[in-house]
Chains A and B, each alone.
Chain A
Amino acid sequence: MDLRFLAAAPSTVEQAAIDAALTGDGRDQLLPALHAANDAVGWISEGALNHICRRLDVPPAEAYGVATFYSLFSMEERPRKVVHVCVDLACKVNGAEALVDAQSEFVVRSPCLGVCERAPAALAVEAGVGSEYLMPEIPLPQRGDPGLRLLRRVGVVDPRSLDDYRAAGGYSALRNALALGPQGVIREVTDAKLMGRGGAAFPTGRKWAATAGQPERPHYLVCNADESEPGTFKDRVLMEGDPFAVVESMTVAAYATGCTRGYLYIRGEYPKAFSLLSNAIEVARERGFLGRDIMGQAGFEFDIEIRRGAGAYICGEETAIFNSIEGFRGEPRSKPPFPVEKGLFGWPTVVNNVETLANVLLILTEGCQAFQRIGTSQSTGSKLFCVSGTIGHPGVYEVPFGATLRELLDLAGGVPDLRAVLLGGAAGGFLRPDEIDLPLTMEDARSAGTTLGSGVVLVLDGTVDVGGFLLRIAEFFRDESCGQCVPCRIGTVRQEEALHRIVRRTGDSQDLVLLRDIGRVMRDSSICGLGQTAWNAIESAIDRLGVRL
């Protein structure tokens, strides 16, 4: 392309950081290159952007459009050290504002950081140095419990050691998969009735069969570790505690669906998970668990590239993630075509959540019959729940599908003065105290008019300002809308404005009419799930919780 670039030049530090980060000269290197510049000096200067554009042959206006899409990138110079303080749901009810006030460094008010069990949360980021959490670690509540399945290795094996992983059963699933053959693996996963754990509960076997059956090559695999739904942190716990399982499960999925390349897309605010996964991928590659002829299987080739997100909830949407990886703005694509037909780089692609893939390892080691014996006939296996809010022992809990919400809350220490539970996340809905005997299954949640979503169980007791909590939900959707379609881009703003008037009692009865009208058009006419669900929680607060606004 004959492009016009800028006159600005990068500093030596910026240029060195960008050049070191590039592993190719394609457009898909744009996001890693922007990260390199921002990580090195704390912001993206004209000179840095221009250098990236020259190296990758990307028009500056487009690169600017991509860089300004992500909230972790600053286009203005700012202090080298910034503290991202989470002001989202779980932290809000646990003293986030006091934590903001207590900072002496430059504060960035952040949406959910995905460490809700340690609320209020803050992540310090220093240019040229790295990131660290400012809260102490807390152990997994159920650590070492013999009943654990998905979490059985978390906090027990060394997450940096492949040998420990293998000694604890690692890579037996892949061995079994190679013996079964791709079709056999898909049959097991289908018969186990595994449903996606990323929020949409789509049958995994069907998705895999549809991709495997596409005659074109290549096929791509994307492991969705963007985990940005407020109140969700289960994938982080899996990635930090059992990173080799993520690598093995991706390898199994790739084998079944005919992918030679996989992308692990992890949100940008997960420094520890990122470093442990990078290590796991490297070690697995060295030891023949990635690359050519994996585990001695002639002709089976697969490798994984990690991509860091940069602060955009929408990039967890299954088509936005493709645009983000390809170096475009993380805007969802219109479906059809579906990812299994035309996904990453236009090729057939499987997208699966981290927890979904973790279940595949269990299915292949114990068999689909044994797997199905856990849970209910429609919701098979066990489920990770992210318990947070005003509760004694927040954390990720694993229970079989069918356990009740009350049992789960009791495991986490119980709530004497329960006001409500937000189930499923900002895109989910509220339950009242008299509804907590709900069995936690996909089907029971659905017939109760709600969803398990990504496993969020956010507890609100009598101390919580429910109006303020709802306003934060509205603010989250306003901030995270990609801006592509009118119902969501403007609707989320109008929703927040109307809710503001209602909560602050400065409006009139028309505001409720407005909310319902806006909610309906967002649900009916938005392009993607973000806009379609942006009104769910607020609607349920009004209709189910009877919140008198």
Chain B
Amino acid sequence: MTIVDIGLPRRLIEFTVDGEQITVPEGATILSACKDIPTLCYGDTLEPANACRVCMVEVEGSRTLVPSCSRKVEPGMVVRTDTERTRHSRRMVLELLGSATDLSTTPRVSEWMAEVGADPSRFGPDAATVSQPALVDNPLYVRDYSKCILCYKCVDACGDQWQNSFAIAVAGRGFDAHISTEFSAPLPDSACVYCGNCIEVCPTGALSFRREFDKRADGTWDESAQTATTTVCTFCGVGCNLTLHVQDNEIVKVTSPHDSTVTHGNLCIKGRFGWQHVQNT
């Protein structure tokens, strides 16, 4: 994994990961120095929410496991990423998530489950779930909260970390906690400006373009038949990068590169959804 360079010269610190001495700049997280630790709520353009607990590692001297996505490296720290204890934790977290949530469109999760032997069906057929009808209340994107793992990323993207629209927040508590507008108002009645920046960061597919949702529903969504082309948005002079995902000569969704120093993956309604009008299908 690349280490994000913040431009200032930083002190280097040494620590140990799985027996290997590693040097990182001060302020780096454990995750940034490790390869292949699964993450769900971590976002490369967002502050860590450390809520999903998929990325837990052992740190010597710590009573509990530690979230690698947010814990900063300290000099001399001794970290283990693959022990019986971390595997048990990861297996349980994935089983718990899988037993309550539809993870069918979460990239890589089945691979991680297989690695640790997670079996969400262990909790039985009566296990409570977050299953609910998808919210299709506007022409641009769909909120299918049966797939929501409550990672906070959409809320953070919509709020003070990027968009400053504050259209959505976490409401309720415990297992009833959910992403919501005020009084569950439909999106057209909310503060949403359809920037789609929440879709950009959603790790599960709970938020998806209407086109993707419809195509999945009628069985014509085919990622292997899609191409992705990055171009520059022509709607205004800012020059945001757009990545157009095309299937059968049709734009099916638009993302934006997270490493763009201008936009960090964020767009406005025109860049994100303007093609729907252009394409006129």
Binding site for B on A (CB under 8 A): 1, 3-4, 6, 46, 49, 59-65, 68-69, 71, 75, 312, 329, 334, 478-487, 489-494, 497-498, 501, 510, 514, 517-518, 520-521, 523-527, 532
Contacts and interface: CB of A to CB of B under 8 A. Distances in A.
A484 B191 contact: no
Contacts of A3: 166, 191
Contacts, number: 155
A491 B175 CA distance: 9
B164 A1 contact: yes
Interface residues of B, number: 47
Nearest to B67: A334
Given A487-B93, A493-B128, A497-B123, A334 B175 contact: no
Contacts of A518: 92, 96
A61 B100 contact: no
Contacts of B126: 497
Given A59-B169, A60-B191, A61-B181, 16 more contacts: A60-B182, A478-B175, A481-B174, A483-B176, A484-B51, A485-B51, A486-B51, A486-B54, A486-B149, A497-B128, A514-B122, A520-B88, A520-B92, A524-B56, A527-B50, A532-B64
A521 B96 contact: yes
B96 A494 contact: yes
Interface in B126-141: 126-128
Nearest to A8: B183
Nearest to A333: B50
A329 B96 contact: no
Contacts of A498: 123
Given A75-B183, A494-B127, A487 B96 contact: yes
B32 interface: no
Interface residues of A, dominant DSSP: helix
B13 to A, nearest CB: 15
Contact of B96 (A6, A68, A486, A501): A486
A329 B51 CA distance: 14
Nearest to B63: A532
Considering residues B52, B99, B123, which has the most beta carbons from chain A within 10 angstroms of its beta carbon? Answer: B123
B93 A65 contact: no
A486 B123 CA distance: 15
A61 B127 contact: no
Given A497-B126, A514-B123, A483 B174 contact: yes
Contact of A517 (B53, B92, B182, B183): B92
A521 B174 contact: no
A494 B70 CA distance: 27
21 contacts: A4-B191, A61-B166, A61-B181, A61-B190, A62-B159, A65-B169, A65-B180, A75-B183, A312-B173, A334-B50, A483-B172, A484-B51, A489-B177, A493-B127, A497-B124, A497-B127, A510-B122, A517-B88, A521-B88, A521-B89, A521-B93
A485 B150 CA distance: 9
B30 interface: no
Contacts of A523: 64
Interface of B: 50-54, 56, 64-65, 67, 70, 85, 88-89, 92-93, 96-97, 99-100, 122-124, 126-128, 149-150, 159, 164, 166-177, 180-183, 190-191
A527 B71 CA distance: 12
A490 B54 CA distance: 14
Considering residues B64, B174, B191, which has the most beta carbons from chain A within 10 angstroms of its beta carbon? Answer: B174
B130 to A, nearest CB: 9
Nearest to A493: B175
Contacts of B166: 3, 59, 61-62
A61 B150 contact: no
Contact of A490 (B50, B89, B99, B172): B99
Contacts of B181: 61, 64
A71 B173 CA distance: 9
B114 to A, nearest CB: 18
Given A486-B52, A494-B123, A494-B127, A61 B172 contact: no
Contacts of B65: 524-525
Those 4 A-B pairs whose CB atoms lie nearest each other, nearest first: A483-B177, A59-B166, A65-B169, A521-B92
Contacts of A532: 64
Contacts of B50: 334, 485, 527
A114 to B, nearest CB: 19
Contacts of A312: 173
Contacts of B52: 485-486
Contacts of B172: 68-69, 483
B96 A64 contact: no
A184 B3 CA distance: 47
B70 A334 contact: yes
Contacts of A478: 174-175
Nearest to B93: A486
A490 B96 contact: yes
Contact of B174 (A6, A75, A480, A494): A480
Contacts of A61: 166-169, 171, 180-182, 190-191
Considering residues A510, A518, A521, which has the most beta carbons from chain B within 10 angstroms of its beta carbon? Answer: A521
A61 B126 CA distance: 32
A517 B99 CA distance: 14
Given A61-B169, A329-B170, A525 B122 contact: no
A485 B67 CA distance: 11
Contacts of B89: 487, 520-521, 524-525
A423 B168 CA distance: 42
Contact of B97 (A63, A486, A514, A517): A486
A408 B169 CA distance: 48
B174 A68 contact: no
Contacts of B159: 59, 62
A481 B180 contact: no
A498 B123 CA distance: 8
